[in-house]
Every structure is written in structure tokens, then in C-alpha cells.
Structure 1
């Protein structure tokens, strides 16, 4: 690793992206070598191989977690840090399973973020302490076996959820299945209710766990 940590920032909010870049430059010891706003941008920038650490948001076009999975499948040594507002344990768990090196909440102070990025560039890992404790607490609770709820889904719902778990949007899933987007939205509402989860990410995580259990 060079003395200067090279950073690529991918976030679909330009003002936030510019703010992070400016703060890191002012602190010193960092060089911003790439910026983007979508998952496609992240994958393209990863292919350039210029950065020591890549910062990814979750909620951006194409999905940050899906981008991380695609990048790490091609470039397993790439150090990725998720910088997000999401405090959902499902997002954290999926991010860690994907292989990211860090999960940081956007409310972090710029000086703390700088320290975290330097540690990750040096080979360490980091999870925001509050989220780490929250995830540990959930893991210590008696298992509810939510994964078994997958069996309540119809074949059509399982097919749709499988596509969502691959990272496809409602529009993309509709095109793949030759359905209307509003039909996919209707099915997803029923899927979330049946699985007793709050969002698509948690539903996708259950699907992944179900497949792992079956294998």
C-alpha cells in the first residue's frame, strides 16, 4: 500500500459524494481517483484497479450490495466499504457475507471515516459498533426459522424473489418474466407479507439462506 490511500467514491447523491471527497482531501493522506453514481459505474471503476479502497452506497441505481458482489466475484482482493444510512441488520449481514471490508453509517465524523479507511487500506475490517452489537444481539436470540416461511410462497412468487435476490429491479424482473411492472410490485407486496420481513433486502437474504439450507 502506498503512503497515500487512493479512494473511489460511488454514491448517487453528488453533494454527499463531493463532501466526502473534500473532507478526505482536507484531512490529507488520501487521493480521490474515481467517482460514480451507479452500480454500473462502480463495476467499471473497479476494473480500472486504481483504488486501494472503494466506498459504495447501498441505495443507488443497480444496488450497492449487488455491485459489491459482482466486483468481489471478479476482483476478490478489492477492499470495499459500504457507507450508508441503512441500520438494517439484514443489509449488514448480506454485506458481510458478500465480503466487504467495512460497513459505516453516513453520520460518522469525517476524521473517524479517515481513520477507518486507513485501517481498511492496511488490511483490517470495520463495522459501526452500534450495528455490530445489534447484529450480535439478534444472532443470540432463539431462532425463529423465518427461512422456513419460503415454503409458503407460490412457484410464481419464488421465481420473482429469486430474480430479486439476484439484484434485479421490479422493472428488470418484469421484463425477464414477460409481466407488467405493477404485477411484480403486487407480488412483492404479498411476498414481504408472507415472509414477515420489512424490505426486499431481508426477503433476498431469506432466499439465499433457504438455498444454502437446501444444498
Structure 2
């Protein structure tokens, strides 16, 4: 099946996004976060500060190639489609769908790993986005959580939902440690395997 052609305006937008991200990440690796100011990044990319902020909310987002997470209609529909079954697995996948929106196609996972290893302070911005992603997932989870939880044997109420969210986040970190590309690949077997490993580990220790 042929892919729908990307409109020229959208291609230009993606190209500009990728250019600013590439310049910002390269500048930080070369000169460090302090010297890589918004002004320096914009100048090196050949754009104005106003254009910079049209694409990135913060300098850290430009460096890391990240954006605020969002909740898509498809992700919500997929979560709701399985209501009454496998609340744990569905929550992990909903969290994964939301987290993936933080990283546009032009974002480089390899470069991001290099940056956060060299400059751990950049992880603060990542943590802020992950917290926002958890809040989005919680908003969907709480809609019918008590009914699903009761059927699955989970504790009902907000504390039960929070515990499930924390467990889902741990599964994704575990999957990432096994394969850094796994969370960003659609239909990753590593993610599903990680869910099963945690499911069995929890059941075996009860």
C-alpha cells in the first residue's frame, strides 16, 4: 500500500525541527549545556529566537529532541477496546503510546542516550515529560479503573491505579535496559516479553 505523500509545508516543518535539534545536540556535545544558549542554537541553525520557540518549548527539548507528551485518540481507543481484559498489559501499552509522542521521527535515541550519559542534568527534562505522560495515562485509567480492577483482582481506587502506573513505568524501563530501541519500535516483542516477565515474577512471589 502506498504511503500518503507528506505535504510540502509539513516536510518543511519537520526539516526545520530536525535542523534545530541537530544543531542544539551537536552544540551541547561540543561546548556543554551552559554555552549552548537558545541564542547560540538559533544563530547556528539560521533561525530567529521566535522560530526556535515555535518548535521547542525549552532549550533542553531542542537538545534532546523531545516534546510534551500527548494522548492520541487511537491510543485511547486501543486501551478501551480491551476493557475487562489484561488491565496490566493494556496500561503498559497505553503508557508506551503516550511516551512515544514525546519523540518525533527525527529525534535520535542514540544521540539522546549519549547526551544524558555525558550531561545527567538533562534527565530532569525527561523526567518532567514522563511525569506529564503518567498524568495523561492516569486520566484515562481512572475513568473505568475500579470496574477493571475489581475484575482483575487489583486494589480499587486512586492508590491502586497509581501502583499500576508505577509498575507499568518499571516494565518500560526494564524493556529499555534490555533493548534501548524497544520502546520506540511499533509492536516490539521485547515490550511484550517484559510484561510477561513481570507478570510471572509478581505471581511467583505472592
What is the TM-score normalised by the length of structure 1? 0.26
> Per chain length, whose mean CA-contact separation is higher, i.e. which structure has more relative contact order (CA < 8 Å, sep 6+)?
2
Which has more strand, going by share of residues? 1
Is the radius of gyration larger for structure 1 or structure 2? 2
What is the TM-score normalised by the length of structure 2? 0.26
